[in-house]
């Protein structure tokens, strides 16, 4: 049976940072975004409030800023090689992230079968942000189920890769999980734990459970 590999983005595929923070760096608004990330990590605000507040920060955002953030971000090594190997095996890979969809969707060009992110208006923003479009930890499970139906697999065929509280629900419903540079929220939950900057090494841990 084929497997579905589900990857988080912030802190997982990106080393020590998030897509919103990398976008904000391009606008000179990193400090403001760090404060927001500390608030959501501490549970002081939820994903809808976080999304609405970064949207308000990005009034001057352009496609050029997004491209520069994507190309200059500290990605883990060998992401494309891992996804090519997953495809070679006849398996599936998807990215499910709370970060903006306009950033996450760029990873289809690297080989992901599917990408899901929080729904933001097109850049540059000419429409209001609907906070209801922000994804949550629970939403990741719903999306995983939708992808399972699409690819003809079940939760028992899934592998989750993540680093933080937003991955906790997903880690709780799949049989194999890899904590990648993870924080305390995933302590004791993951099948495997990886610390480093090369996705291939994390992927090989999951391959032990075939």
Q: Which of 117, 9, 32, 104 is nearest to 66 (CA)?
A: 104
Q: Tally Cβ neighbours within 10 Å of residue 140.
A: 25
- List the chain pLDDT tens, one digit each, 210 residues: 799 999 999 999 999 999 999 999 999 999 999 999 999 988 899 999 999 999 999 999 999 999 999 999 999 999 999 999 999 999 999 999 999 999 999 999 999 999 999 999 999 999 999 999 999 999 999 999 999 999 999 999 999 999 988 999 999 999 999 999 998 878 788 999 999 999 999 999 999 877
Q: Which of 97, 136, 132, 92 is nearest to 113 (CA)?
A: 92
pTM for this predicted structure: 0.96
Residues forming a β-bridge with 187: none
Cβ neighbors of 191 (< 8 A, separation 6 or more) are 175, 176, 177, 178, 206, 209
């Amino acid at each position: 049976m084929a497997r579905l590999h589900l990857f988080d983005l912030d802190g997982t595929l990106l080393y020590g940072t998030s897509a919103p923070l990398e976008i904000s760096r391009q606008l000179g608004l990193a400090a403001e975004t760090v404060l927001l990330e500390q608030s959501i990590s501490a549970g002081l605000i939820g994903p809808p409030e976080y999304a609405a507040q970064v949207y308000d920060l990005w009034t001057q955002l352009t496609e050029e800023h997004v491209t520069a953030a994507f190309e200059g971000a500290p990605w883990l090594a060998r992401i494309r090689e891992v996804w090519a190997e997953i495809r070679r095996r006849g398996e599936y890979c998807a990215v499910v992230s709370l970060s903006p969809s306009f950033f996450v969707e760029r990873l289809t060009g690297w080989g992901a079968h599917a990408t899901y992110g929080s729904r933001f208006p097109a850049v540059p923003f000419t429409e209001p942000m609907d906070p209801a479009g922000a994804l949550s930890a629970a939403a990741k499970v719903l999306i995983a189920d939708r992808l399972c139906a699409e690819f003809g697999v079940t939760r028992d065929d899934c592998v989750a890769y993540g680093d933080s509280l937003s991955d906790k629900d997903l880690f709780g419903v799949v049989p194999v999980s890899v904590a990648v540079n993870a924080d305390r929220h995933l302590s004791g939950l993951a099948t495997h734990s990886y610390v480093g900057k090369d996705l291939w090494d994390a992927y090989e841990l999951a391959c032990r459970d075939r």
